[in-house]
Structure 1
């Protein structure tokens, strides 16, 4: 079962319920895979609102591995999900929100995240 306080989410992929979590190691894996120089560059890339299928595979794969699943990106690419492409995009959005926080955790003027808002 996913623990949202640890940044974990649950998803049904390939007919199985799975936990995903972008741990620090998973984020470092994404930095390398996506050519981002650091966490700020990685976050800025995600905030741009564009997502390729290759990026979705890398993010989902890193999230699965971060939660302890032994799975390759090639295997991730073959995992079916109910809802098709839109469900993959939603899964990625949920995982990134769990990792980097939601817009609701920012101050009303759009400033820095408010650490007390997240719990």
Structure 2
């Protein structure tokens, strides 16, 4: 279940809704995966529009792991994400934004 107050975002993969959350561990894995040295650089990469579909996939994998599903990139290569590539990018952007909002700034 999606919960904007805790930063949880839901994604539908192959017809199954799964929670995503960017825990500190998930963010650390994402930094390594995307080759960024800092959280600021990671966020700026997405804010600037300088991200690739591989970056979106990495963000989704990190979020799914943070949400409790031990998934690998390879598990998602042939998966169907609700909304297609654009849907995946929108959910990934919402996930990243919620991870860095203060509780009082979070809205549904």
Does TM, normalized by the shorter one, top 0.5? yes
Gap change, CA 1:24 and 1:75, over 3 Å in 2: same
Give yes or no for contact 1:57–1:73 (8 Å, CA) kept in 2.
yes
Query: What is the CA-CA distance between 1:71 and the residue it aligns to?
Result: 0.8
**CA–CA distance in 1 between the matches of 2:51 and 2:42?**
13
| Two-structure CA RMSD over aligned residues (Å) | 1.6
Aligned residues: 106
Point out where structure 1 has 5 or more consecutive residues left out of the alignment. Answer: 102-114
Deviation (angstroms), 1:78: 2.2
Identify the structure with bigger relative contact order (alpha carbons < 8 Å, sequence gap 6+): 2
Gaps of at least 5 residues in structure 2 are: none
- Normalised by the length of structure 2, the TM-score is 0.87
Dislocated runs of 4+, deviation >4 Å: none
**1:84 maps to which residue?**
84
Q: Of the two, which has the highest radius of gyration?
A: 1
